[in-house]
Structure 1
Amino acid sequence: MTGPVNAKEGLFGAERAKAFIDAVVAIAMTLLILPLMESVAEASAKGENAGAWVTGHTDQLFAFVLSFAIIAMFWINHHRVFTLVERVSTALLWITMGWLLSIVWLPVVTAMVGQMPSTDRVLISMYIGSMILTTVLGLATILYLRAHPSMHDISRDRVLRWIAVDLAMIALFAVSLLVAVLVPVVSYFALFLMLFTRPVQVMFARAIGAGRAKPEDAATDD
């Protein structure tokens, strides 16, 4: 953003914002691997073989793969929105900073998930709750763009479909959290409820009057 694209409206070109978002997300995804790298060094110092390392760190491996997939899903959905954003405002940038903060937090809570009891209700709430926050901020981004059509080239129908996607994800994350807290033995496996995002999205789309869902509208679509 070298300067306002529209000084009267206080809008700026979106290219630097997009590059910054991609860089922060890439760093966050890379940080997920650090606890595993440390454990490899510890295993090597103890003379453990690869099989012993894998067996002893299944929780960390599961947490790494799950969080990597979750962040990838968040980024893909956000990328599909920002691809059509041509200008940004200070307000939109602050919403985006909040979204990035929730993304950067995930490697921290993922490290906790990989090393602390899977039945810890507080940790479960922190982990899945952070995903709800990320989705809520993604929804806030779309709602802001809907209210400021001069900033993007997104059709009304597509905006409504994306709103339906986020509403479906928020609902399923909330149900996953409820199940994981009430039935601790299920733990983070409750997040596999996210596989039902597409049918729940269709329900929300019908409720808000959105057009038929299309494959390009969500990372969770087939």
Structure 2
Amino acid sequence: MRSRASYTRRMDAEQHPGPERLTAYTDAVVAIVQTLLILPLLESVSDARTHHLTAGQWLTENSDSVIWFGMNFALIWSFWALHHRIFDHVQHLTTPLQSINAVWMLGIVFLPVSTAVIGLGQTDPTQLALYIGTLLFCSLMMNLMAWQVARDPVISGARPRLQAPQLATSFAAALMYALALVLALSIPGLGYLALFSMFLLPLVARALTSVLNRLV
């Protein structure tokens, strides 16, 4: 009986491995993406040296790039932090969860590209769709992962199940990014200021919590 139980546990581990390797790999990808964000600023410093600009002149000319760097660094960190909180509830990986995580990383890796596009001339709908759309895509993939973790008992195993308030935060973020995208594309001149709608996230999350309490 003991050998059969040991064999069963070994087979379960092979079919549904732990999340450690996947989370380590994901952490490395996120760290690399955050590092890539600084490269355009480093290039601008080299250009400033060539043109004999002072630090103040460089900062004045690149103030927008510095702000975008800080904002994107914070956004990627917030995605990573939510990913970390979700995977605290993961004991076993499933193929769907691994697949969704891979697609989520695709969005994270593309984010520096959509950020770089912001510097291409005047803001237009394509720019807005690429940047805010990438944020929405990452948020939707995060929602799918959170829903898998909350609903599949194989994934959570003996760990505590993902609760409604955590799901609500993830779902609310996606709704706010979707709202920002609609506002940015439909209101002329609003542009990236539509992202200030994210300040409504706590209110939306509280409203969603009561709904999700009945579903998980």
- For Structure 1 versus Structure 2, the TM-score category normalised by the shorter chain is 0.7 to 0.9
Q: State the secondary structure of the residue aligned to 2:45.
A: helix
Alignment counterpart, residue 182 of structure 2, candidates 178, 181, 189: 178
Query: What is the root-mean-square deviation of aligned Cα atoms in Å?
Result: 2.0
Residue equivalent to 1:214: none
- Is the 1:60–1:111 contact (alpha carbons within 8 Å) kept by the matching residues of 2? no
Alignment counterpart, residue 161 of structure 2, candidates 155, 163, 173: 155
Residue equivalent to 1:219: none
Residue equivalent to 2:194: 190
Letter in 2 for 1:42: D
Is 2:79 the partner of 1:77?
Answer: no
**Structure 1 regions of 5+ residues with no counterpart?**
212-222
Would you tell me which structure has more helix in proportion to its own residues? 2
Residue equivalent to 1:126: 130
Residue equivalent to 1:209: 213
Residue equivalent to 2:27: 22
For residues 112-168 of structure 1, give each alpha carbon's deviation from its aligned partner in whole angstroms, at most 9, with x where no partner exists.
21x124521111111001111111111111111233212222335x1x222211221
**Structure 2 regions of 5+ residues with no counterpart?**
1-7
Identity %: 33
Q: State the secondary structure of the residue aligned to 1:87.
A: coil
Moved over 4 A (4+): none
Q: Which has the larger radius of gyration?
A: 2
TM-score of the aligned structures, taking structure 1 as reference length: 0.85
Residue equivalent to 2:48: 43
Letter in 1 for 2:200: F
Task: Tell me the matched-pair count.
Answer: 205
